[in-house]
Amino acid sequence: MSRIEQALEKAAMLRGTTTESGPVAVPRQTDDVPPRERAGLPPFPAEPLDGIRHDNPLLATLNDPHSYVSEEYRKLKSAIVAGTSVGEFRNTVMITSTLGGEGKSITALNLAITLAQEYDNTVLLIDADLRKPMTAEYLGIPGERGLSEYLSVGAHLPELLVRTGIGRLSILPAGKPAANPVELLSSQRMKDLLDEIRHRYPDRYVIIDAPPALPFAEVRSLSSLVDSIVFVVREGQSSLANIDEAIGALNRKKIIGIVFNEASAVGLSSKYGYGYRYGGYGQSSEPAEARSKAEKTGKLARIMGKGGSK
């Protein structure tokens, strides 16, 4: 934190007033351990990273922001903003799915990009899939060091964060795949990290790309640490029984929506009372194939709150 930022923060604490742009958010301090030492989190990493990959057809919100698909992601964003702003701001949102390959990482990344582009909130995307991380690959950014190194060897967090230059979006890559992800993601250090981010930067959205829920136990630990959950389902990928089992492993009260990926019909929304449907963007390894598929179907439907009819 720069001296200017420190001075502004101190002045805001003393005044307890607002600026012309709105209320001043005063970060919560802890008495026992300095926040910087607990989480090492500055307002931003040092400099935006050059060379962010803009040509990945899966990242519609980045390479084609005026497309229909991007507009539907904005609808998803608006619904999530509404769902996380009722009462106390619930700013940590976990994205998961039943199995791998259902589109959770793409959903998390496009959601984070959309939030960062259109809102005053800063956004931090954490790749917490320590078994098969994808965020760094999709963006074309360095991903050799990240959350895994922070949790396992105490790496200093500011050195791991990547400022993308996409709005106010920063990334914490997963780092190298971990041999013990359950222990790392359920550790006190992980809990302290999320607590620190949540309270020190209360206007920051934290999007967490979590592992799939059904095969891996660490998702249960993560779900207890976050405020809200978005669940991604790809049509034909998982059975209804598996989806039920996966959702049952999470805290159902925290689930604010279900994303239906490449769905031809909203079959699950009537069962769970809420949902979000889109088609076209799968996790194809062939960009041309993904682009062609997107152009043909490219449709999304809104996330719905419980009891919603839209």
pLDDT digits (tens, 9 = 90+) for 53-75: 666 667 777 777 888 778 878 88
Distances (CA, A) of 7 to 12, 168, 199, 290: 9, 22, 19, 49
- Map out the domains of the chain as residue ranges: 60-262
Reported as a single tens digit per residue, the pLDDT across 155-179 is 998 899 998 888 889 999 999 988 8
Q: How far apart are CA 1 and CA 93, in angstroms?
A: 25
**Nearest alpha carbon to residue 192 among 157, 220, 219:** 157
User: What was the pLDDT predicted at 32?
Assistant: 42
The highest-confidence range among 68-82, 105-119, 145-159, by mean pLDDT, is: 145-159
Residue with tokens 């200017």: 4
Give the mean pLDDT of the chain. Answer: 72
Q: In the numeric block, which tokens belong to residue 223?
A: 């779900």
Averaged pLDDT, 14-43: 39
User: What was the pLDDT predicted at 298?
Assistant: 33
The proportion of the chain whose per-residue pLDDT surpasses 90, expressed as a percent, equals 29
The CATH number corresponding to 60-262 among 3.40.50.150, 3.40.50.300, 3.20.20.190, 3.40.50.2300 equals 3.40.50.300
In this structure, how many other beta carbons lie within 10 angstroms of the beta carbon of residue 224?
12
Q: How far apart are CA 197 and CA 40, in angstroms?
A: 10
Q: Give yes or no for a contact between 65 and 73, defined as CB atoms under 8 angstroms apart.
A: no
Higher pLDDT, 284 or 105: 105
Q: Which residues of 11-36 are buried (b: 16+ CB within 10 A; e: fewer)?
A: ebeeeeeeeeeeeeeebeeeeeeebe
Asked if residue 183 has pLDDT above 80, the reply is yes
Q: In the numeric block, which tokens belong to residue 73?
A: 């992601």
Asked if residue 262 has pLDDT above 80, the reply is no
Reported as a single tens digit per residue, the pLDDT across 186-235 is 999 999 999 988 887 777 899 999 999 988 888 999 999 999 999 999 88
